[in-house]
Copies of this chain bind each other. A is one copy, B any other.
C-alpha cells in the first residue's frame, strides 16, 4: 500500500501535516480544542501545542480561541482546504505512478529468519 505524507515546514517546525489537518477538521466540527481532542483521542495539552505551533507558523493564526471555544479563522479554513487539495492531487498522481511498485510488494512480510 502506497502512503503519501505531505508536510509544510516553517523553519524546523511542521506548519501543516496529516495530524494537524485532522485536528483543524475536528476543531471546525466540535467547536473547541478539548472536544476536538476527545474526538481524536488526544490530550488537551497535545492539541493545544499543535494549535500553538500552527498559529505561529502562518502569516495569520489558523485557530481563534475564546471563552466560547475555538473556531477556524479565515486563514485556517483556507490553509485546510488547500492542504486537502494538495493531498488529493498528489494522492492521485502517486496512486497512478505507484502501480508498478505495488505489483511487486507482498501483502505481508515473510517471517524473519531466526
Contacts and interface: CB of A to CB of B under 8 A. Distances in A.
Contacts of A85: 97, 100
Given A75-B104, A104-B79, A110-B56, A90 B8 contact: no
Interface in A43-70: 52-53, 56-60
Interface of A: 1-11, 13, 15-16, 52-53, 56-60, 75, 78-79, 82-83, 85-86, 89-90, 93-94, 97-98, 100-102, 104-113
Nearest to A102: B8
Main secondary structure of the interface of A (DSSP, over half): mixed
Contacts of A9: 1-3, 105
A4 B4 contact: yes
